[in-house]
Structure 1
């Protein structure tokens, strides 16, 4: 099935598609970047057995040094304001409910009984009435993965090499006292995103209702459970988990293993091979079925494709493949009635589908928004976070008549899909962090490139007009498998709109939400294909008389940064280019990234004249350094291991060393973020980054004063 594109085609209000609700006084001033970065952000939801809804809400601390998460209880009726449940300097996160109504969460705050400071998150429990207490702790910290009906908890932790849970704390103290930081590597991988893949052994532990820990996989080694996705059956008898192993060529392969909780016996349930590996196992409530993503390996001719499969663990028949149409699956879970709810990207927006596990057919539960943190409630309704380009993630409640099968929208219980009426619209629940007014409007735009329709979003200042056309920024998203479909705290177009810019955000080739064909269009990572589609949408937009095509900027991060770097050597149509965490010298990046195995599998070695050599010659941005004429702002985090800082260092050297004018007049700039990773996450650094990006564009697009040699906001 191919689901229809229900995105709006004309001007949209600032609260596009958002459910109506009486809002608290919210944020309005997008010229106040510090205030913007201090807006509370709703991170996750949990639903309790009595219908309670709890949200984890993150907010910058006093100094902007870090984000701190706090738990709030929300009113399911949508009337009362959110009620704060926790408060500590270390923060609380990952709320989950037990069947008896006890709220579980993780925190590194001090234990009030012992008064001891914690080095790692412990598992806490908070009864509906009473004080929170530590339920369980481990020296390697605890992360909640699932909660069973009897209150048992599946959690993730780690131990130092050669240790068990009992001796790990003492070994960590000894290592810390000795300031020992060496890592003994025996294979790949050795890095992941922003941290070293150390010699610790990730483990799964089953925590009994009274807090006793059982190590479920003492033979996991350093790789088996690293980054594992795992689930626990409702009766706490069975665990399913991803399990990784090294393969020749520096790669890894992931299978699905089943662990018996009583015996700790581990068996292979779904074995990965050269054609497929697996991710995201989720058991149905009765443990008779398993939902899992089967992922094909990327190759020079096809990107990695994901298929959501449902395996019958009783009969062994199947699997049934979910018929998701163009939806790119993200999060999924089982309902108590036996359907599989799937949230994902769809047509520069998103949707939730309900999948029949018997035949894989799907029906639409919710659309016109990006949905996450799905939390089913006992009455069949669904609490979720909903976002779009104009709206931060907000908690909403979906009516049970929409979510649950077997009941028509008019309540007749016909057993058919909802066709006999209109279900109640989603109800937004009061919570901190509302944005009540935007500095502009949002429009859905699209154009035809060959036989493909390329869509995206245009954010426009309110005062843009033919009499006062505004400058334009073209943003290219990362991934390349991604989509401009939701609110972003790291790349928020409304900060630029408040500054007077229009922001065009295309979803070109390889974007998510357009089926497998969309993901493969332009593969393997063809910047020429992506730019042709982005430029076509830009040219169409510039036909408007309220946009000024003589004042433009190009911005991108990650793959978008690679695109910005590649475009810089091929056109001078932009007045400024901002590249964040961008790839510059591909022969170098492909060998130093933490994803080296996949990069080399797809693109091969640049010395191979059978094909890869030409790809590197055509598409490695560094080969066109002599043709770069546009002022470039390079920004990069030192702890970025996906696109290592060496890319920025080499780009910066190439820009500086090839500038043949007065060094004092060189237009390029480099903002180095020594404590950041692939993303700029620290609020204080995000403040500097946003101000620097906008000021650089102001200087070269609008003719504003240059940024001083010493940053005034550093």
Structure 2
């Protein structure tokens, strides 16, 4: 029976659930859903409401050409979201993203902000009051919202794109930093006026500006911020780079904003915890510890306590625990909880009764939700299944929580989990597609006695009579785990083409404790490599796997490891290396976070474990893939890899069995759907040629 994974055009057209919010009364879940545009070159996002108890059907709430995202609720049940949809009262042709409000009582959505640089996202909302905090970029030299608009207009008019820096770094992941800096703006929604008088006031201000320009005023006054909108309050007027990685929590009464921000250091920084009075802007440092990062704040529902993550800054000596701490709202009475729990939290929330923390973390190839008692009791999983949970929102009205969950066979979908751990799938406009295969868990024992486990996706029909070719997929990170659905690395696409896909968690993977991570620390080419070969050996011994037809693939750290594999064994027929680290000394100084990479390696280990040293030993055909806008693993890594391959392996005419797939306008990930199709078509053609021994041409669209 055909599935959407049989044709790439059908796969990229699958709708995707990307976010979740829960109404204050616990009755409604709002989903952010991405759907393919008509021209198949991007995704449009809309908001959908589904009942939070498991019954009913999805109902679409928004529909605009520009789409919506980042939904959140006010205490009154109004829905906040960010959108670049047109504001009929704005004279800007290409409106940046603004904060919008969809009234619970019905009626049209209306804008809440009209900032020249737009709104980056909703940072936090208050449970009890109509206060919201948004993240928004403001030019460094601006002294007001109006001044920011005027300076942006000048840069636009003069077509200036240059940026002057005085701090490191200058770019991040896929975008340049500056000249704007992220700010946190407080907004009181009670000031959202919608009266004729306010509209007349705005019109009068616009007419006055037009008259000033007409009579030749040398320096017309900046356009006043609209009186119909609540004026945002800059909670940290001169943040510098402090809010670049900010994580925030707003007290239920909206009076206190707790922020994890960057404390600048010579070439980087560490995270500290501060509290900002949203009425006065007064800032108090709650936790500032040299040698530690303090992150992921959460505030209790009664507004008296904070939970947060405390982690020692990492060095080559080994991984450090990610510690759960709680304190009073003023930072006093700080203490660690769950000191013996050996997992790394990925999200933190207070339980409905504030007597425990609800925490997500990788665990043995899955991503459960845990209950962490605050009285010293044992940490226990609330759910025990083969899924990974994210976007957890505690339901104070009905108990339990709602979340998105996924596995390698099922994309993210909304569920409700009650206090007993019972899971109820909720309605969704993006139902799970039929899977062209099955999944099983495999494991082996490494030479040092460590247990190495993996997921194995098998195609339909794989058997002793028809063994499947094997693709070893190596995850990125490397502090990561193959435990959740990925739209970028989708093993079901390979299964639909007859391949088995091995998804292992070698040394450095999360969810197995610090000792397991430490096995590969400062030694990337050591235990991670031998673990991968050990689990591959165990899997190719199965009678439903063809050990003579295998390939290895990976991206980012997985690409690093694919390069390492290529230089250390010829057991695979093909290697695919995406966004990969090649020369570690070069990479450490050109990535967007060089201080981190140079901090976690000794210089000796960086040299010893650099794949470029073994280029002459590569015997397996390699497909190199890289995007020019990748600032985490810069394009120089791919270019040097390609140059080194040519130096050692080109024939008399300069040709090689290797290939280089280059994306000038993609970043660390291949995000445009048309390029995702090209990526998979090129990869599958390369594998068909070298693993299956078939004649296969690359996509015709490549020319």
Kindly state the Cα deviation for residue 679 of structure 1 after the two structures are TM-superposed.
0.8
TM-score of the superposed pair, with normalisation by structure 1: 0.89
Measure, in 1, the Cα distance between the counterparts of 2:629 and 2:314.
26
Match of 1:432 among 398, 419, 429: 429
Give 2:441's match in structure 1, choosing from 428, 440, 444. Answer: 444
Determine the C-alpha separation between the residues in 2 that align with 1:137 and 1:375: 29
> 1:108 and 1:288, CA in 2 relative to 1: closer, same or farther beyond 3 A?
same
CA distance in 1, matches of 2:81, 2:340: 33
Q: Quick one: distance in 1 between partners of 2:336 and 2:270?
A: 23
Matched with 2:226 is none
Three-state SS of the structure 2 residue aligned to 1:587 is: helix
Q: Once the two structures are superposed, what CA deviation does each residue of 1:191-235 show, in whole Å capped at 9, x if it has no partner?
A: 2111112132211111001233111111212x1111211111110
Give deviations 1:21-54, integer Å, cap 9, x for gaps: xxxxx99231111111111111111111232111
Selected match of 1:333 from 349, 352, 361: 349
Separation of aligned partners in 1, 2:93 and 2:513: 49
- Once residues 494 and 611 of structure 2 are traced to their aligned partners in structure 1, the CA distance between those partners, rounded to angstroms, is 27
Task: Encode CA deviations 1:516-565: one digit per residue, 9 max, x unaligned.
Answer: 22222210142221111111111011111111111110001000100011
**Secondary structure of 1:687's aligned partner:** helix
The question of 1:41 aligning with 2:41 is answered no
- Report if aligned partners of 2:245, 2:261 keep a CA contact under 8 Å in 1: no
CA distance in 2, matches of 1:192, 1:579: 22
1:314-393 correspondence to structure 2 within 5 Å: 316-323=332-339, 325-338=341-354, 339-359=356-376, 361-368=378-385, 369-377=387-395, 378-393=397-412
User: Aligned-residue CA RMSD in angstroms?
Assistant: 1.9
What is the rounded CA distance, in whole Å, between the counterparts of 2:89 and 2:156 in structure 1? Answer: 25
C-alpha distance in 1 between matches for 2:243 and 2:328:
24
What does residue range 159-558 of structure 1 map to in structure 2 within 5 Å?
A: 159-163=138-142, 164-209=144-189, 210=191, 211-221=230-240, 223-248=241-266, 250-274=267-291, 276-313=292-329, 316-323=332-339, 325-338=341-354, 339-359=356-376, 361-368=378-385, 369-377=387-395, 378-399=397-418, 401-402=419-420, 425-449=422-446, 450-558=448-556
What's the CA shift for 1:314? 5.9
Aligned to 2:118: 141
Q: 1:224 and 1:75 mapped to 2: Cα distance?
A: 39
Distance change >3 Å, CA 315–CA 152, structure 1 → 2: closer
Paired residues of 1:322 and 1:355 also in contact (CA < 8 A): yes
- Cα distance in 2, alignment partners of residues 131 and 543 from structure 1: 62
Question: Equivalent residue for 2:64?
Answer: 88
User: What does 1:122-133 correspond to in 2, within 5 Å?
Assistant: 122-128=98-104, 129-133=106-110
Segment drifting more, 29-38 vs 107-116: 107-116
Question: Which deviations, in whole Å up to 9, do the C-alpha atoms of 1:336-379 show, x marking residues without a partner?
Answer: 31032111211100111122223364232123221111122321
Which structure 2 residues correspond to residues 674-693 of structure 1 after superposition, within 5 A?
674-693=664-683
Deviation sequence 1:146-180 (CA, Å, 0-9, x none):
11121110111121121022211121111112121
- Could you say if the C-alpha distance between residues 693 and 310 of structure 1 is closer, same or farther in structure 2, counting changes exceeding 3 Å? same
* C-alpha distance in 2 between matches for 1:214 and 1:335: 31
- Distance across 1 between alignment mates of 2:331 and 2:166: 41
**Which is worse superposed, 236-245 or 26-35?**
26-35
2:513 and 2:129 mapped to 1: Cα distance? 40
User: 2-side partners of 1:65 and 1:622: how far apart?
Assistant: 36
- 8 Å CA contact retained: 2:436, 2:495: yes
Q: Which moved more, 1:624-633 or 1:137-146?
A: 137-146
CA–CA distance in structure 1, aligned partners of residues 340 and 367 of structure 2: 12
In the alignment, is the contact (CA less than 8 A) between 1:310 and 1:322 conserved in 2? no
CA contact (8 A) 1:323 1:362 kept: no
CA contact (8 A) 2:352 2:400 kept: no
Identify which of 536, 540, 564 aligns with 1:566: 564
Instruction: Say which SS state the counterpart of residue 584 (structure 1) adopts.
Output: coil
1:241/1:256 contact within 8 Å kept: yes
Moved more, 355-364 or 534-543: 355-364
For residues 241-298 of structure 1, give each alpha carbon's deviation from its aligned partner in whole angstroms, at most 9, with x where no partner exists: 12213223x2212211111122211111100312x12111111122221111112111
Q: Deviations over 1:108-133 (max 9, x none)?
A: 10014447545321111111211111
SS in 1 for 2:146: coil
Q: Distance in 1 between matches of 2:68 and 2:650?
A: 54
Contact 1:320–1:357, Cα closer than 8 Å, also in 2: no
Work out whether residues 125 and 133 of structure 1, in 8 Å CA contact, stay in contact via their aligned partners in 2.
Answer: yes
For the residues of structure 2 that align with 1:363 and 1:621, how far apart are their CA atoms?
41
Residue 11 (structure 1) aligns with: none
Instruction: Give the Cα–Cα distance (whole angstroms) in 1 for the partners of residues 117 and 374 of structure 2.
Output: 38
SS of match in other structure, 1:179: coil
**C-alpha contact 1:160 1:199 (8 A) present in aligned 2:** yes
In structure 1, the residue corresponding to 2:613 is in which secondary structure?
A: helix
Partners of 2:702 and 2:391 lie apart in 1 by 36
CA distance in 1 between counterparts of 2:29 and 2:657 reads 52
Q: CA deviation at 1:693?
A: 0.8
* Aligned partners of 2:286 and 2:330 also within 8 Å: no
Give the count of matched residue pairs: 655
- The answer on whether the counterparts of 1:258 and 1:269 sit within 8 Å (CA) in structure 2 is yes
Residue pair 1:342, 1:354 contacting (<8 A) in 2 also: yes
Structure 1 match to 2:626: 636
TM superposition shift of 1:323: 4.9
SS in 1 for 2:100: strand
